[in-house]
């Protein structure tokens, strides 16, 4: 079991689809921020401190295996090529921040990427658990098992009044960030999305693009997460996010029903044209691919495109990202032009496989 | 053998492709204007005069059969539904002018549409012969056989100095108009087409769209014809047009070679995207269909799209025209919206048949 398998696999477990509200909710994620007691936070820690943290956590693989029934892979960020690091970011296994400094930074991940622990990111530990569909409870449960397993051997910085101590005060308390990836093409199409985002923001949630803070909502995929970690229990945070997400899911579904009733023909034409372009294009940018894949996925969810597996969207969302393509090209330097061609080729090949049904 | 077969057939003989320069020249046409001696031109003729002309020519079917080895179909324009008349126009079997007045107007056509004689259009007789590719000599030869066969039984208005007499002075003399349908997508793409049209116009040729005078060059198809009929022999007219067409063909070929050398990837992507849209769209306007069919045909001619028969372009050029679609829909009134859907369906079905190869 090496990091290569994690890098080369086109689908992580949570991309295989399934889970609740899977027609709209792609995945759920729970992240816990933890720090080892008595060692400065990474931004103030010495090289020795960081090395101690990495070594301590690396030693927990067996415990984690028992607690979660997963095999674990340890990777020293410094030993990975820059390309491999970016592939991990694209696959949401690590954060973009985790590749900015690499010395003494590490990753401990389950073989199916359902659990990934970033070591020495902003905090000593960022425990991240992903599931397909709207399954925040399940993700929290998994994260708690990881957390408990680690806490059984290590002391985490904790204060009776504040809860878990974290490098940034916004994570104080539970250290919990829960987030959900939503595919909202019809709320975007009917221009209701800004109202939805506005409402979510007002009640203390953050709405971001596919790659978190500062990224655009390419492919009509939005990430919604809690902002506050202090003053609420973990279950309150999860329940609150869950209930807002269910409302948004209902709004997207309602918009889809209306659209289907009012403009099925136009919609169907638009979706099939996107399918046709994806099926035959010889060059396609990442942005365009995501836009069209989003339409095709909508077509699948609305019964317009049949016999095409819906997780082809999740899969191609990852396999058509720049760094994954670069990796596929065996690290040969790819110009953006060739990357667009390779992307088109991968999509074409994949859609050709399912084309016999459509 | 009835007019229905001519109306329902999706491909006339000259659409089957072949002939010289068939990668660029879709078809050649020769038209002779003739009038029966002693009867006023149609615009000044009485109903009785027109009826006499129609009756006289209708009686020539056996002679024409012998002269050209074709079966002939006679159709009284008045007895055709307006829709059927327009289908004949779309198929280039009759001119748009020939459906404006229908009383005593008629059509005498070979079963494969290689010969069509419009009776009482602007002149008593408009003999039109079509072939695939650049075969003006062959078309003239066929027209001459029809002309000779008719002239053996009827006296045509003729003047030793002027030649054949015609309703409009622009047709005086030979009464000959020769024209060629050219597919010039790359001269259009590289914006050289206006220079080419300008040069052709300066030496006395007319350049028009797919449906003759006043129509746009949809699908990058241009019709080039001689303007002058007086003061030249028939062979001079044909030779002159032939030589200009060959020059234009060379220019289009040169532009294609350059494009292939410089931007094969971009071109290939563009062509395949058009193929993809045609292959899957659920609604498509006539204009858009022609534009994309033109690109796919270019792809076939340039070896980018292989294993697709090139005459699929000629065929779909006709079967996706509004009136032919209406006819296909069994005369049920088709809204333009449903026509666009039916057009997309026909194209989809046809491309699906060839899709297994690509």
C-alpha pair distances (Å), B241 with each of A133, B16, B28, B126, B147? 68, 23, 11, 20, 21
Q: What one-character-per-residue DSSP string does A217-247 give?
A: -GGGEEEEEE---SSS-HHHHHHHHHHHHHH
Tokens matching residue B286: 């006539």
Q: What is the pLDDT of residue A12?
A: 72
Q: Is B226 a residue whose pLDDT tops 60?
A: yes
> pLDDT tier at B211 (50, 70, 90 boundaries)?
low
Q: What is the average per-residue pLDDT within A201-212?
A: 82
Low-confidence winner among A75-79, A255-259, A309-313, B348-352 (lowest mean pLDDT)? A309-313
Q: What is the average per-residue pLDDT within B62-70?
A: 94
Cα gap B11→A140, rounded to integer Å: 66
Q: What is the average per-residue pLDDT within B241-256?
A: 96
Instruction: Tell me the CATH number of domain B1-22+29-173, given options 3.30.590.10, 3.40.50.720, 2.60.40.10, 3.50.50.60.
Output: 3.30.590.10
Give the model confidence (pLDDT) of A257-282 as tens digits: 999 999 999 999 999 999 999 999 99
Q: What is the pLDDT of residue B293?
A: 93
> pLDDT tier at B157 (50, 70, 90 boundaries)?
very high
Answer whether B337 touches A (CB < 8 Å).
Answer: yes
Q: What is the average per-residue pLDDT within A119-141?
A: 96
- Mean pLDDT (chain A) is 90
Domain residue spans of chain B: 1-22+29-173, 259-354
Q: Is A331 a residue whose pLDDT tops 80?
A: no
Q: Is A112 a residue whose pLDDT tops 80?
A: yes
Answer whether A25 touches B (CB < 8 Å).
Answer: no
Is A146 within 8 Å of A127 (Cβ atoms)? yes
Query: What share of chain A in percent tops pLDDT 90?
Result: 68
In the Cβ-directed half-sphere of B76, how many Cα atoms lie within 13 Å?
A: 9
Q: What is the pLDDT of residue A130?
A: 93
Answer whether B339 touches A (CB < 8 Å).
Answer: no
Q: Is B30 a residue whose pLDDT tops 80?
A: yes
Give the model confidence (pLDDT) of B126-156 as tens digits: 999 999 999 999 999 999 999 999 999 999 9
H or E element, residue B29: strand B25-34
Answer whether A342 touches B (CB < 8 Å).
Answer: no
B298-B304-B308 Cα angle (round to 5): 75
> pLDDT tier at A52 (50, 70, 90 boundaries)?
very high
Cα gap B300→B293, rounded to integer Å: 10
Chain A, nearest residue to B344 by Cα: A269
Partner-chain contact B266 A283, CB within 8 Å:
yes
What's the predicted TM-score (pTM) here? 0.85
Cα torsion at A172, A175, A181, A186 (round to 10°)?
-30
> pLDDT tier at B333 (50, 70, 90 boundaries)?
low
Give the model confidence (pLDDT) of A210-250 as tens digits: 655 555 567 899 999 998 777 889 999 999 999 999 999 99
| Chain B residues close to A278, C-beta within 8 Å | 276
Q: What is the average per-residue pLDDT within B275-302?
A: 93
Q: What is the pLDDT of residue A59?
A: 92
Q: Is B326 a residue whose pLDDT tops 90?
A: no
Probe site for chain A from B260, B276, B296 (most A CB atoms < 10 A): B276
Tokens matching residue B302: 């340039």
Q: What is the pLDDT of residue B229?
A: 76
Q: What is the CA radius of gyration of chain B?
A: 21
C-alpha pair distances (Å), B11 with each of A7, B53, B113? 54, 30, 10
Q: What is the pLDDT of residue A90?
A: 84
Measure A37 CA to nearest chain B CA, in Å.
Answer: 58
Q: Is A356 a residue whose pLDDT tops 80?
A: no
Low-confidence winner among A157-166, B263-272, B301-310 (lowest mean pLDDT)? B301-310
A224 phi/psi in degrees, rounded to 5: -115, 130
Is B350 within 8 Å of B316 (Cβ atoms)? yes
| Chain B residues close to A279, C-beta within 8 Å | 276, 279-280
Q: What one-character-per-residue DSSP string does A61-117 give?
A: HHHHHHHHS--EEEEEGGGS-HHHHHHHHHTTSS-GGGGT--TT-EEEEETTSSEEE
């Amino acid at each position: 079991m090496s990091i290569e398998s994690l890098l080369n696999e086109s689908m992580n477990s949570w991309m295989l689809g399934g889970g609740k509200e899977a027609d709209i909710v792609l995945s759920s994620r729970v992240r816990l921020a933890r720090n080892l007691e008595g060692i400065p936070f990474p931004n103030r820690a010495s090289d020795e401190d960081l090395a101690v943290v990495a070594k301590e956590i690396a030693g927990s693989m067996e415990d984690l295996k028992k607690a979660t029934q997963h095999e674990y892979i340890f990777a020293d960020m410094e030993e990975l090529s820059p390309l491999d690091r970016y592939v991990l970011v694209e696959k949401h296994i690590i954060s973009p921040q985790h590749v900015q400094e690499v010395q003494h930074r590490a990753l401990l991940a389950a073989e199916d990427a359902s659990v990934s622990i970033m070591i020495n990111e902003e905090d000593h530990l960022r425990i991240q658990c992903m599931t397909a569909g709207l399954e925040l409870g399940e993700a929290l449960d998994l994260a708690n098992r990881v957390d408990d397993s680690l806490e059984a051997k290590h002391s985490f910085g904790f204060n009776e009044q504040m809860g878990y101590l974290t490098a940034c005060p916004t994570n104080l308390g539970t250290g919990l960030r829960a987030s959900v990836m939503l595919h909202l093409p019809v709320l975007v199409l009917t221009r209701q999305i800004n109202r939805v985002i506005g409402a979510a923001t007002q009640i203390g949630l953050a709405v971001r693009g596919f790659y978190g803070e500062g990224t655009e909502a390419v492919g009509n995929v939005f990430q919604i997460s809690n902002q506050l970690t202090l003053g609420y229990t973990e279950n309150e945070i999860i329940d609150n996010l869950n209930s807002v997400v269910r409302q948004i899911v209902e709004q997207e579904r309602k918009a889809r029903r209306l659209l289907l009733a009012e403009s099925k023909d136009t919609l169907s034409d638009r979706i099939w044209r996107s399918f046709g372009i994806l099926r035959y294009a010889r060059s396609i940018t990442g942005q365009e691919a995501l836009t069209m894949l989003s339409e095709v996925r909508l077509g699948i969810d609305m019964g317009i495109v049949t016999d095409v597996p819906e997780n082809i969207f999740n899969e191609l969302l990852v396999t058509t990202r720049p760094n994954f393509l670069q990796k596929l090209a065996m690290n040969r330097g790819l110009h953006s032009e060739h990357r667009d061609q390779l992307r088109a080729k991968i999509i074409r090949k994949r859609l050709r496989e399912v084309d016999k049904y459509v």
